[in-house]
Chains A and B, each alone.
Chain A
Amino acid sequence: MSGAVLEVTDLCVSYAHPLGLVRAVDGVSFRLAPGERFGLAGESGCGKSTMALAILRMIRPPGRIDGGSVRLDGVELSSLSREAMRQLRLAGIALVPQGSMNSLNPVMRIGRQIEDALANHGVALPRKALNARIADLLSTVGLRGEVAAMYPHELSGGMKQRACIAIAICLSPRVIIADEPTSALDVVVQRQVMETLARVQRDLGAAVILVGHDMGLMAQFVDRLGIMYAGRLVEVAPVGTMVTAPRHPYTRALISSLPSLDRKGELQGIPGLAPLLRDLPPGCAFHPRCPLAAERCRREAPALRTAGEAAVVACHFAETAP
């Protein structure tokens, strides 16, 4: 299946911690088609944000990319020089950061923060054209032109998040990675931000990777969903299939833990705690908490296997489970 705009193959990222090696991302592979919306979900600490940084090659010591490849439009990113990779950031792959709280430079006006993104990528426009372009970008994300002259602390959470989106799209990237863009926002603003993101992505024809842990949000936004657990991808499927017929025990537990307006009952959780990434259980990382766990699960880590159309699951019992 060529034509994938982003291809991640067997990516491994680890951190050197005095108490042991932390495998934040352990052999993750997936493909992104142009214009597709892909969700990457999982609990806190499962390695999702590290994934995002790894794709952008922004992992710093004590972390390092141990192996695997990331290709953008067929170009292997690890083969690029530092300068080339820098140019690619924002222009090729853009990050919409998490925590609209603190992602904007507190002492710079918004307009300037968009401007320096443009300027550092070689866009040299006369002052008037520049201002027009900035105003244009701001209106695309639903912000008034005056925002350009404001400082981040003068904006609300939702406005700041949208400003971040504006920055992310200013160079029309091919891939947008949105890392928990709606955390710390109330539901109404969440909707506005997601709508903005959706619209912008459609207009640009960019692919989106939405990283987060809000399954409800994912279900409403993405085309395909990938579930991460303990640094590994355990299931990838079209969102409809995943919600109605999850195959991995973890996914199943996640879906059934979502409170529903139709049924009344007890809140279902998943027993136990997610493992420490530096102290992973042998074999399948989920087996200590899995209702289907068997001897094989303790010995052998399951690989991602096709299960049904366009879905892959990493579980020994994927086919047999109902």
Chain B
Amino acid sequence: MRAVISYIGRNRSLLVGTVLLLALAAFVFVGALLVDTENARPLSVPILRPPSWDYPFGTDKTGRDLFAVMVVGTPLTLRIGFIAGFLGVGFATILAFTAAFYRGMTDTIIRSIADIGLTVPSLLVLILIAVSIRGSLTVNQMALIVASLAWLNPTRTIRSQVLTLRERGYVELAAMSGMRGPEIIFCELMPNLLPYIGATLVSSVSSAILASIGLEVLGLGPMEAPTLGMTLYWVNFYAAMINGWWWWWIPPIVIIVVVFLGLFFVTVGLDEIANPRLRRSA
């Protein structure tokens, strides 16, 4: 454990990222203790109050306590990202390993699908899907929609990593000493790939959050949920910026920036672990 902490200390990006995310987590936990989360619903509190002792982030036009909204909404947004990201990378890993290991036609098919899927701008397809499913979306449904396309990029990157590793000596050695396919995959390839998959995972979560926020800002998200993206949607809808209700749009933007920066730095930090050449010399 101490070794892990000391390493994080040396890996500056990982440190910054982890600190940011931990700060966010602290905000959510402490906040949940301090405020009544029911006030994140509309018509709970007086409208359009600027920040005060009672309402640290003020209130919005529909009568939500914005502090509560942030405390409730942040984990919701993150949840979408995590579900979609994990599902996406999970599926991608299976596909990538299958493609890279069995080669031939399987590989070609999987690779082509992933490549074609990538030339298409995913947000647009997501819009199409979301519009078609119209009707109130729940947060989990959002996550599934985003997940449906989240596996494309990771499949590609993980596959190329596996292919690179596959050519390395120790895999051949394992094959020669009688290990079978799945065994090789789990015992030899996986451990070396874990940092890389970790970095891909975090990056995938980040993209998923971006996609979900994008959909929400366009008005295609779960309307009742106080997620960060939906908050921005309402900000746009009620023209909060022009009306000078600065307390409404600053917190979500700040939190979103912190989320993305945090995830970004963690990704870079994990990349450094995965690719030792990038490591700084002490």
Contact = CB atoms under 8 A, between A and B. Distances in A.
Within 8 Å by CB, do A and B touch in the complex?
A: yes
A322 interface: no
Nearest to B279: A18
Contacts of A271: none
3 contacts: A18-B281, A18-B282, A62-B281
Interface in A47-85: 62
Interface in A3-39: 18
B105 to A, nearest CB: 28
A62 B282 CA distance: 13
Interface in A146-190: none
B12 to A, nearest CB: 16
Contacts of B282: 18
Contacts of A62: 281
Interface in B232-282: 281-282
A18 B281 CA distance: 7
Interface of B: 281-282
B52 to A, nearest CB: 54
Interface string A175-216: 000000000000000000000000000000000000000000
Contacts of A18: 281-282
A43 to B, nearest CB: 21
A315 B281 CA distance: 37
Nearest to A16: B281
A18 B279 CA distance: 12
Nearest to A19: B282
A213 B281 CA distance: 31
A62 B281 CA distance: 10
B264 to A, nearest CB: 27
A21 to B, nearest CB: 13
Closest 3 CB pairs of A and B: A18-B282, A18-B281, A62-B281
Contacts of B281: 18, 62
A62 B280 CA distance: 13
A71 to B, nearest CB: 34
A18 B276 CA distance: 14
Nearest to B280: A18
A37 B12 CA distance: 51
B279 to A, nearest CB: 10
A298 B281 CA distance: 33
A199 B281 CA distance: 46
A23 B282 CA distance: 19
Interface string A83-100: 000000000000000000
A19 to B, nearest CB: 9
Nearest to B281: A18
A284 to B, nearest CB: 31
Nearest to A62: B281
A18 B280 CA distance: 10
A167 to B, nearest CB: 29
A194 B281 CA distance: 40
A177 B133 CA distance: 71
B7 to A, nearest CB: 14
A236 to B, nearest CB: 36
A18 B282 CA distance: 6
A36 to B, nearest CB: 40
A123 to B, nearest CB: 38
B115 to A, nearest CB: 24
